[in-house]
Copies of this chain bind each other. A is one copy, B any other.
Amino acid sequence: MAERGRPRKGAARLSREAIRAAALTVTEDEGVAAVGMRSVARRLGVDAKSLYHHVEGKDGLLDAVAEHVLAGIGLPEPVGVLEDDLRAFAWAFRRAALAHPQAATLVLTRQLPSAVALAPVEAVLSVLRKAGAAPEEAVHLLRSLLAMVIGSLLREAGAGPAFGVTDAEAIARREEELTGAGLAETAPFLARCDHEAEFAFAVDFATEAVAARLRR
C-alpha cells in the first residue's frame, strides 16, 4: 500500500517549525492581521485544531514567529570603537526586523521570552562596559538606545505615527497642509520621511551622545 502511514490529505508532517514557517508566509503574503489558527492550518492542508499539539494557541504562534525573526539577527563582531560597534548593532537589529517587513511589527511589539533577546543584549552591554560605562549606566544606556531603535522601526513598519509619507504625489498635498498650519519652514522636511535616512540620523545622534558621555 503506497499510502501506509501517510496523512490522508497530503498534509506535510506537522511540526512547530513547519507551523512557524507557514505563519511567517501568511504574515508576509496577507499581513499580520490575516494570521490565525485557521489560515495557517489551511496553508499546511491541515485542520486548525491540529496546531494545538505544537504551539500554545494563537499567542504562542505569534510569539514563535517573532522569536524566529529576532533569532535571525546577525550579530556583528565588535571592533573596539564604541560608536562603530553600537551603530553596527542597531543596523543589525534593523536588518533582522525588516527582513520580513510584515512580521517586523511582531518583533517590535511582542514581549519576547528573554532567552532569544539575551545574546544581543549581552553583546551591547559588553561593548558599553568595555567603553567604561558602570553596570547600572550600561543598562540605562542600553534601554535608551533600544527604545530609540524600536520607536524608529515602529514608525517605519507603519505601525506608529509617521508625520510623513514616502509616496511622491502625497508629499506635495501633505506639504501644503503643513504650510497652511504655520509650519512653513519645516513643512518640506516634515511632509516626507525617508525611513532609512531617519534611522541613520537617530542612530548616529544617539551613539555619538553615548560616546561623548563615556568619554567624559
Which positions in A face B, CB cutoff 8 Å? Answer: 108-112, 114, 117-118, 121-122, 125, 129, 135-136, 138-141, 143-144, 146-152, 154-155, 158-163, 174, 177, 181-183, 185-186, 188-190, 193, 198, 201-202, 205-206, 208-209, 212-213
**Given known A111-B162, A160-B111, A163-B117, contact A190–B139 (CB-CB < 8 A):** yes
A212 to chain B minimum Cβ distance, whole angstroms, is 7
| Stoichiometry, copies per complex | 2
Q: Which residue of B has the minimal Cβ distance to A188?
A: B135
- Pair B189/A135 contact, Cβ less than 8 Å: yes
- Pair A151/B162 contact, Cβ less than 8 Å: no
- Pair A183/B144 contact, Cβ less than 8 Å: no
- Pair A150/B139 contact, Cβ less than 8 Å: no
